[in-house]
């Protein structure tokens, strides 16, 4: 069984599992999305006493918090116990593009030049992570959900606002990749 879990799964198996989860959520009247967990955690912490947005029945969202916690634990277990340590196999063109931006590819999923405790000593890297995090947080709140919520849950419900949001996510990603990142790096 462990050998089956350790091997890469084909896209259709993973996609089929997402479909089953979406059908279950639709059946129970729930909608998927990770960004709503921040609102739930703020409500649990008592932010609803000062800000109306956080004043809601957070206990109805405990299932989503459990999904978030399970995802984090599952990712940790998969990364630390179910994978053979091997460098990421990136194309030469991608490695060259990263090199042109000044980001050295070291074989990891996230480049340590940006995502390590050592990198946090660099003011530029820290500013990029902080500003990027604020923009993602603001964007997911302004769009009424995150990429997973709109692209998986919203599109499966045939919601036009989710289609518009997903198109906006892609346009924003392209603008970031081709126009803004070269300026930052």
Kindly state whether residue 114 falls inside one of the protein's structural domains: no
* Domain membership of residue 69 as a residue range: 1-85
For residue 56, the SS3 value is coil
Q: Which pTM value belongs to this model?
A: 0.69
User: Alpha-carbon distance 145 to 171, whole Å?
Assistant: 17
Give the ranges where the chain is alpha helix by DSSP (H): 2-6, 11-27, 36-44, 62-81, 92-100, 123-142, 147-148, 155-156, 160-175, 181-184
Condensed to tens digits (0 to 9), the pLDDT of residues 59-106 reads 988 988 998 999 999 989 988 888 777 788 889 999 998 898 888 898
142: in domain = no
Which mean pLDDT values do the consecutive 10-residue runs of the chain (185 residues) have? 80 89 86 82 92 90 90 89 81 90 86 87 90 85 81 86 92 91 84
Whether residue 116 lies inside any domain: the answer is no
* Number of separate domains in the chain: 1
Query: Is residue 105 domain-resident?
Result: no
């Amino acid at each position: 069984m462990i050998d089956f879990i350790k091997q890469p799964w084909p896209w259709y198996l993973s996609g089929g599992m997402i479909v089953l989860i979406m059908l279950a959520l639709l059946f129970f009247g729930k909608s998927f999305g990770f960004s709503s967990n921040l609102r739930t955690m703020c409500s649990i912490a008592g932010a609803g006493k000062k800000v109306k947005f956080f004043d809601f029945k957070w206990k109805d969202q405990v299932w989503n918090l459990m999904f978030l916690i399970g995802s984090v634990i599952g990712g940790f277990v998969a990364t630390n116990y179910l994978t053979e340590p091997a460098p990421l196999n990136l194309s030469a063109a991608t490695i060259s593009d990263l090199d042109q931006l000044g980001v050295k590819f070291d074989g990891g999923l996230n480049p340590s030049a940006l995502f390590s405790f050592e990198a946090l000593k660099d003011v530029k890297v820290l500013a990029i992570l902080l500003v990027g995090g604020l923009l993602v947080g603001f964007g997911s709140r302004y769009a009424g959900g995150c990429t997973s919520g709109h692209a998986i849950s919203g599109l499966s419900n045939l919601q036009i606002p989710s289609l518009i949001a997903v198109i906006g996510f892609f346009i924003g990603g392209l603008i970031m990749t081709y126009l803004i990142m070269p300026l930052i790096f």
